[in-house]
């Protein structure tokens, strides 16, 4: 059972949709598929423009940094993915300032406001919605609203790789929202997407940058339902299939189920003695702090057939992360907390009494 916060399992109907022969990308047949997928993506994002790029999510992060920073970037680092925005700036010789916090701590609205006020050359802010390194939720919407009050021309770029498809994102003050195929969208890795505001499109068009990740060319081309370079045809067919299904079920229904499952999982793990790691947990995943992380994960994998994620860098062996993104079955989430409780018993830490499963089920199905 794959319950890591990316990659997530690819549902059977998506695998089937992607199993047909490879079609040529410069054909009316593919353009019709592209158009349908593009329109669905615009609906999911609730933003006026989108592009699909043949790359992992980091490629779309890079494209946003290089195309949307004209002067100086402000990057928010509360974990490995926020740190990456700064590393991309450095790689391209783009000036940047970073606000750094521990991986359990979201950036404060005030810290961002102060940084913006202190340095008028900052013209773009880069932040995760959910920072997957520790599973925290940044107050992105509030930050975006405050920054726009100071200067509406400052571009807000949100990495929504573990937020798009997890929750309804208020994009009112966001200019670019990045996502990738292998997290909440349940596809194999290799496709990245960006949603844009009209202001972001205008900024990109005012100063086209780059070659492969030249978003001005990509936006212009994708408006004609084709791509500048060879399209990731198979993944785009898969994305169309997944979005059709999510739309038919209701996007809001997906968000509601994910939030319920995340809450039930957090409550179940707290009930058997764990501390939730982030101060503001996101619904994409549950992260708990425990020195027993490696031992628990090993037992889960070998004895109970559950694959969950650990931590990286200084959190290696200190946290574990259980995924809630995508179409996770209730019985899978319920089994995961059950297995964690069993592992505690196996390690002689806490005698098994079924508490995790009981708390999960009552929160998931009984409203408490």
Ligand X SMILES: *Cc1c(COP(=O)(O)O)cnc(C)c1O
CB of 319 to ligand X, least distance (A): 15
Binding segment for ligand X (CB under 6 A), chosen from 50-58, 135-143, 195-203, 210-218, is 50-58
Query: Does position 83 bind ligand X by CB under 6 A?
Result: no
Query: Does position 326 bind ligand X by CB under 6 A?
Result: no
- What are the residues facing 73 on neighbouring strands? 96, 124
Binding segment for ligand X (CB under 6 A), chosen from 29-37, 107-115, 157-165, 226-234, is 157-165
Report the C-alpha gap between 267 and 174 in whole angstroms: 32
Report the C-alpha gap between 364 and 276 in whole angstroms: 18
Is the Cβ–Cβ distance between 277 and 289 less than 8 Å?
yes
Sheet containing 275-276: give its strands across. 275-276, 285-289, 319-323
Q: Is the dihedral of CA 155, 232, 84, 277 positive or negative?
A: positive
Instruction: Give 43's contacts (C-beta < 8 A, 6+ positions apart).
Output: 243, 247, 251
Binding segment for ligand X (CB under 6 A), chosen from 39-47, 142-150, 159-167, 330-338, is 159-167
Q: Work out which of 49, 104, 159, 267 binds ligand X, going by CB under 6 A.
A: 159
- Return the number of the residue (168 or 298) whose C-beta is nearest ligand X: 168
CB of 192 to ligand X, least distance (A): 7
Query: Does position 77 bind ligand X by CB under 6 A?
Result: no
- Determine how many CB atoms are found less than 10 A away from the CB of residue 43: 14
Q: Work out which of 106, 134, 135, 180 binds ligand X, going by CB under 6 A.
A: 180
CB of 134 to ligand X, least distance (A): 11
- Determine how many CB atoms are found less than 10 A away from the CB of residue 74: 25
Binding segment for ligand X (CB under 6 A), chosen from 40-48, 52-60, 218-226, 270-278, is 52-60
SS3 sequence of 94-150: CCEEEEECCCCCCCCHHHHHHHHHHCCCEEEEEEECEECCCCEECCHHHHHHHHHHH
Binding-residue total with ligand X (CB under 6 A)? 11
CB of 75 to ligand X, least distance (A): 13
Residue 218: which of 183, 194, 253 has the closest Cα?
194
Q: Please spell the DSSP secondary structure of 165-188, one letter per residue.
A: TTB----TT-SEEEEETTSTT---
Query: Does position 162 bind ligand X by CB under 6 A?
Result: yes
- Return the number of the residue (161 or 356) whose C-beta is nearest ligand X: 161
Q: Work out which of 31, 39, 46, 56 binds ligand X, going by CB under 6 A.
A: 56
Residue 130: which of 160, 100, 87, 171 has the closest Cα?
160
CB of 53 to ligand X, least distance (A): 11
Report the C-alpha gap between 53 and 30 in whole angstroms: 16
Report the C-alpha gap between 100 and 103 in whole angstroms: 9
Query: Does position 167 bind ligand X by CB under 6 A?
Result: no
Which secondary structure element, helix H or strand E, spans residue 307, and what is its range? Answer: none
Query: Does position 81 bind ligand X by CB under 6 A?
Result: yes
CB of 215 to ligand X, least distance (A): 17
Q: Work out which of 128, 171, 197, 334 binds ligand X, going by CB under 6 A.
A: 128
Instruction: Give 54's contacts (C-beta < 8 A, 6+ positions apart).
Output: 190, 191, 192, 227, 229, 230, 231, 232, 235
Query: Does position 6 bind ligand X by CB under 6 A?
Result: yes
Report which residue's Cβ sits closest to ligand X.
Answer: 57
CB of 225 to ligand X, least distance (A): 25
Query: Does position 62 bind ligand X by CB under 6 A?
Result: no
- Return the number of the residue (79 or 240) whose C-beta is nearest ligand X: 79
- What are the residues facing 100 on neighbouring strands? 77
Q: Work out which of 10, 33, 57, 219 binds ligand X, going by CB under 6 A.
A: 57
Site residues for ligand X per CB under 6 A: 6, 56-58, 81, 128, 132, 159, 161-162, 180
């Amino acid at each position: 059972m794959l319950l890591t916060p990316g990659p997530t399992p690819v549902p059977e109907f998506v695998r089937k949709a992607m199993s047909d022969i490879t079609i040529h990308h410069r054909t009316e047949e593919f353009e019709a598929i592209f158009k349908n997928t593009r329109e669905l993506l615009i609906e999911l994002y609730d933003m006026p423009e989108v592009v699909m790029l043949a790359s992992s999510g980091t490629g779309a992060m890079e494209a946003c940094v290089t195309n949307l920073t004209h002067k100086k970037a402000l990057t928010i680092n509360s974990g490995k993915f926020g740190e990456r925005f700064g590393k991309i700036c450095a790689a391209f010789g783009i000036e940047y300032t970073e606000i750094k916090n521990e991986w359990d701590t979201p950036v404060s609205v005030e810290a961002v406001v102060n940084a913006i006020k202190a340095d008028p050359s900052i013209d773009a802010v880069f932040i995760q919605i959910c920072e997957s390194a520790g599973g925290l939720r940044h107050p992105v919407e509030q930050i975006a609203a405050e920054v726009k009050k100071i200067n509406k021309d400052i571009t807000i770029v949100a990495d929504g790789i573990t937020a798009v498809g997890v929750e309804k994102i208020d994009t009112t003050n966001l200019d670019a929202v990045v996502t990738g195929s292998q997290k909440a969208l349940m596809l194999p890795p290799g496709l990245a997407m960006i949603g844009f505001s009209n202001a972001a499109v205008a900024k990109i068009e005012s100063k086209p940058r780059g070659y492969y990740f030249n978003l001005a060319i990509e936006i212009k081309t994708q408006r004609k339902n084709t791509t500048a370079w060879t399209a990731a045809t198979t993944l785009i067919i898969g994305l169309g299939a997944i979005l059709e299904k999510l739309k038919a079920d209701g996007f809001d229904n997906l968000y509601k189920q994910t939030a319920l499952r995340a809450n039930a999982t957090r409550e179940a793990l707290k009930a058997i003695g764990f501390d939730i790691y982030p101060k503001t947990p996101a619904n994409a995943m549950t992260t708990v702090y425990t020195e027993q992380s490696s031992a628990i994960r090993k037992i889960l994998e070998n004895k109970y057939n559950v694959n969950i994620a650990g931590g990286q860098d200084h959190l290696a062996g200190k946290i574990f992360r259980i995924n809630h993104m995508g179409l996770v079955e209730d019985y899978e989430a319920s089994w995961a907390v059950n297995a964690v409780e069993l592992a505690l018993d196996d390690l002689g830490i806490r005698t098994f009494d079924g508490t995790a499963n009981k708390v999960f089920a009552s929160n998931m199905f009984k409203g408490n």
